[in-house]
Amino acid sequence: MRAIEIRKPGGPEVLTLTERDTPVPGESELLVRVLAAGVNRPDCLQRQGAYPPPPGASDIPGLEIAGEVAEVGSAVRRFKPGDRVCALVPGGGYAEFATVDETNALPAPGGLTMTEAAAIPETFFTVWHNVFQRGGLKAGETLLVHGGSSGIGTTAIQLAKAFGARVLATAGSEAKCAAIRELGADMAINYRDTDFVEAAKQATDGKGVELILDMVGGDYISRNYQAAAVEGRIVQIAFLKGRKAEADFALLMTKRLTHTGSTLRARDVAFKAAIADELRQHVWPLLSERKVLPVMDSIYPMDQAAAAHQRMEDGDHVGKIVLDMG
């Protein structure tokens, strides 16, 4: 099969089209003919040598795929050859074939293209776990999303609104702010000219927000503590501005804050299966009815994976970047 491999740690140019052996599915696994693969920031970190795949995972980048089941293991019961699926994988997505445990795959939502379906798993699994399971967002609460125009951000805005929350989101340009307002954000905050702490307090009559989803880190950590309401929750999913910071930790005590975080890639199959089951129950109907959709920024052919990574790193995208593997 054709695949994109990381020749050595470095910039987008180290991504190389190569030939690899087609993987063989285990007894509980699907072999998927990959028709599209999502591009995500962890792929860029892996390419740079900063985010190695977990033990046992493919060294080929790519955490989410969509395609057709080509073969099934002997114990598979949920899918059959020919089924259209999308799936969260721990690696191996940038290839013409990939294996995945059947519990970490879901039927491709009806009416969506394969490139749209490939834009779903990584962001929807991440948002569901961190905003709803770990963050405990409830209807009527206010969510502040940093990086509102990213794949994670656009997904978080839509799902939070679908389940009755109020949403504030930050972005770095007026065009991006306009885009996230169109998605349903109640307030878009241009962090280049507006203090999101003051904006959040003004939007909540001084109360602060109940939940913050943060992928920025750095000095945002201390500012999140200021923007949070009493009993507020902050969920950390990345550190684009650095993983070290100074903060007034007294606010954790006086506001009774909860600051938690998670990574998803290294979690086991059973953990991801539990998220998949909740997504199938609560979110898949919204996707099939097109009430919630992945926001598509751009689609690149497989052999232009380097250009897709450059688009990600330039930071101008709104929503998802996807590889068309056809």
Do the Cβ atoms of 71 and 52 come closer than 8 Å?
Answer: no
Q: Are the folds of 2-120+268-324 and 124-261 the same?
A: no
Tell whether the model's pLDDT for residue 221 goes beyond 90: yes
Angle between helical axes of 220-227 and 196-203 (0-180°, round to 10): 20
Mean pLDDT of 4-16: 98
pLDDT band at 326 (very low <50, low <70, confident <90, very high): confident
CATH superfamily of 124-261: NAD(P)-binding Rossmann-like Domain (3.40.50.720)
Q: How many Cβ atoms are within 10 Å of 67's Cβ, its own excluded?
A: 27
End-to-end CA distance of the chain: 12
Q: Report the alpha-carbon distance of residue 173 to residue 177 in Å, rounded.
A: 6
Q: Report the alpha-carbon distance of residue 230 to residue 210 in Å, rounded.
A: 8
Q: Report the alpha-carbon distance of residue 302 to residue 62 in Å, rounded.
A: 12
Tell whether the model's pLDDT for residue 199 goes beyond 90: yes
C-alpha closest to that of 128 among 291, 294, 283: 283
**CATH fold of 2-120+268-324, please?**
Quinone Oxidoreductase; Chain A, domain 1 (3.90.180)
Per-residue pLDDT, 233: 98
Mean pLDDT of 220-226: 98
Mean pLDDT of 138-145: 98
Q: 15: buried, middle or exposed (CB in 10 Å: 19+, 13-18, 0-12)?
A: buried
Question: Helix/strand/coil (H, E, C) string of the chain?
Answer: CEEEEECCCCCHHHEEEEECCCCCCCCCEEEEEEEEEEECHHHHHHHCCCCCCCCCCCCCCCCEEEEEEEEECCCCCCCCCCCEEEEECCCCCCECEEEEEHHHEEECCCCCCHHHHHCCHHHHHHHHHHHHHHCCCCCCCEEEECCCCEHHHHHHHHHHHHCCCEEEEEECCHHHHHHHHHCCCCEEEECCCCCHHHHHHHHCCCCCEEEEEECCCCCHHHHHHHHEEEEEEEEECCCCCCCCCCCCCHHHHHCCCEEEECCCCCCCHHHHHHHHHHHHHHCHHHHHCCCCCCCEEEEEEHHHHHHHHHHHHHCCCCEEEEEECC
Tell whether the model's pLDDT for residue 220 goes beyond 90: yes
Tell whether the model's pLDDT for residue 55 goes beyond 90: yes
Q: What is the pLDDT of residues 230-286, one digit of tens each?
A: 999 999 999 999 999 999 999 999 999 999 999 999 999 999 999 999 999 999 999
Query: Where are the chain's structural domains?
Result: 2-120+268-324, 124-261
Mean pLDDT of 286-310: 97
Question: What angle is formed at CA 300 by the lines to CA 296 and CA 301, rounded to 5 degrees?
Answer: 140
